[in-house]
A and B are shown apart, each in its own frame.
Chain A
């Protein structure tokens, strides 16, 4: 679901937007196109500017520079109460003195929607979030998960063109959060509204979003599909932020066909990675990123001369049920993490702590990053 299919003007275009608070630049020259019906995630650690960007879309902050265009209309001229945009707040911001119905109907009442239609639409949206039986409760009589649903219903009931979700699941416990992620996706597909979600939880972003923008100190580090972000991160920051990764530093020796050969102390036959279009020239300092689950761990050595092969000693084994994590100390002292699925019950018993093991991975598993 790439933005801008067929050259049509983007549904939501963020154009060179910056936001400065005094001397602090919270959002720094961000440009993004978001397609209609897309589930888009802004992902980054706290303080990376993702919430500020969302609040500018809602109208609570004014950009210091740049433009926000929704279907070609500049949002800057519209105060929050006129924007065809609704937001679900991290704190939910439910009105404590109103019932569930009162909260959900609030937005429709502002628009002077006829009473009968309000009733029908509130019922419909409460059914969508499975809260029909609780319409008369006050927020303080609800559980955290129920409040979260009321907040979602309240932001959906006006059928906005764009729904903004600020850390919508952060207050839920892990199990409920995972379950709610899938419900959120199902709801988004049913209502067909464009969702922009802000989260610091990479798993959440990977699960729900069609595309993710990873943010770093006010800038966009990378915008891509979850799999592209994971499999082909363009920088060390993105590689390390999403999932676990082993980073090897070395020097490009030669470009051999489609592969770049990299000299690295721990690998006798060197490391190999697919070259990139902007790939490094021989002699450049480079970094290789390898995901732990792509590293094979074996008691015996691979054939001599194999690239991407290393040896070391297992220092720790973390058993996580579905997978086990092995921490292996290489001869240079560097620690490499490898995860193996426990396909067999009590499988992998062959490798114990302290064992001498050999690590290897295919060329395609190496991701070349620039230093």
Chain B
């Protein structure tokens, strides 16, 4: 009798255990399902519809009139437009170019910062990491607005340069691609610095001593030892900057000129100005496909890294 109670209790506990474990495993998948797959399916659905003056402003995907048969309305016109009108292709290409150059600049600026942080005395390092994260305490939008004040013709930068006598005429930076690069590098620098720092701080310094011991000068050891070993950090930081930079809208809109063609702005125009939800959705779907390539590459790299470490 007592034994049966005991067994039942154990089975109940096991059932709860399985349920608990199941829900822990399921939660990321549920998250992906509700906040990525379902919204994506909706966008995909809109992207094969046609514009109509109604609420919502697009045709339904299917109809099943009473007494009639199931009808599916899906058109490829929106995608055809993206290919036929060179504006879109140029915008995609330009976004990739701007993102790639910004990523390279962020790496160039971020590596010395991360390196200095990793080499700083242990006691300072937590503070330095805090300082890198500190800008996030202010709204992203406000920080980008602040750059307008710095970069404009009568802005702080030109004021200082004129005051110390470097220039006579103000530099025209605002509303050019240069301002966009500055904005992206500034905004995404922490995403470059933090993975690089996490990587560099773990590096065994006796490796550099070993290199010196074997006749390698410090500069040589940097390129032959530090950089190859920092590769996982370089790759992670670069993807974390590159992927959001491709779809960036706020920075080119506020800092860039009318000629700064980026896909994020096209998306905005199609959606809000033209109220052409189907084309905007098609732009978004293609943007996702364009970004899936680097994301998959990134995943592969992470996977290999984990396997190598195991």
Contacts and interface: CB of A to CB of B under 8 A. Distances in A.
Interface of A: 58-60, 79-82, 85-87, 89, 91, 93-97, 106-107, 110-111, 140, 154-155, 158
B150 interface: no
A158 B215 contact: yes
A298 B293 CA distance: 85
B19 interface: no
6 contacts: A58-B209, A80-B212, A81-B215, A95-B225, A106-B216, A158-B214
B209 A110 contact: no
A93 B217 contact: no
Contacts of A86: 213-214
A112 to B, nearest CB: 10
Given A110-B220, A111-B215, A97 B210 contact: no
Contacts of B211: 95, 106
A95 B211 CA distance: 9
B288 interface: no
Nearest to A85: B213
Nearest to B310: A140
Contacts of A107: 214-215
Given A81-B217, A110-B220, A140-B308, A95 B212 contact: no
Contacts of B210: 87, 89, 93-95, 154
Give chain B's interface residue range (CB within 8 Å of chain A). Answer: 10 to 19
> Lowest 9 CB-CB distances: which A-B pairs, in order?
A107-B214, A110-B215, A93-B210, A93-B206, A80-B212, A97-B228, A81-B212, A110-B216, A87-B213
A79 B309 CA distance: 34
A91 B210 CA distance: 10
Nearest to B218: A81
B209 to A, nearest CB: 6
Interface string B200-232: 000010110111111111001000110011000
A138 to B, nearest CB: 8
A85 B204 CA distance: 21
A124 B204 CA distance: 29
A8 B293 CA distance: 71
B229 A58 contact: no
Given A81-B213, A81-B215, A111-B215, 4 more contacts: A60-B212, A93-B207, A93-B209, A96-B229
Contacts of B216: 81, 106, 110
A97 B308 CA distance: 10
Contacts of A97: 228-229
Contacts of B204: 91, 93
A60 B209 contact: yes
Q: Which of A87, A93, A106 has the most CB of B within 10 A?
A: A93
Given A95-B225, A97-B228, A140-B308, A80 B207 contact: no
Given A79-B212, A80-B212, A140-B308, A95 B217 contact: no
A80 B206 contact: no
Contacts of A87: 209-210, 213
A85 B212 CA distance: 11
A110 B216 CA distance: 6
B206 A89 contact: yes
A91 B209 CA distance: 12
A329 B233 CA distance: 64
Contacts of A59: 212-213
Contacts of B225: 95
Contacts of A94: 210
Nearest to A110: B215
B248 to A, nearest CB: 34
B210 to A, nearest CB: 4
Contacts of A85: 213
Q: Which of A87, A111, A158 has the most CB of B within 10 A?
A: A87
A106 B229 CA distance: 16
Contacts of B228: 97
Interface in B221-261: 224-225, 228-229
Interface in B287-310: 308-309
A59 B212 CA distance: 9
Q: Which of A79, A85, A87, A110 has the most CB of B within 10 A?
A: A110
A141 to B, nearest CB: 10
A79 B220 CA distance: 14
A60 B212 CA distance: 9
Contacts of A89: 206, 209-210
A154 B216 CA distance: 14
A59 B215 CA distance: 12
A58 B213 contact: yes
A110 B217 CA distance: 9
Nearest to B205: A93
Nearest to A160: B213
Nearest to B214: A107
B134 to A, nearest CB: 32
A91 B206 contact: yes
Nearest to B216: A110
A364 to B, nearest CB: 46
Contacts of A81: 212-217
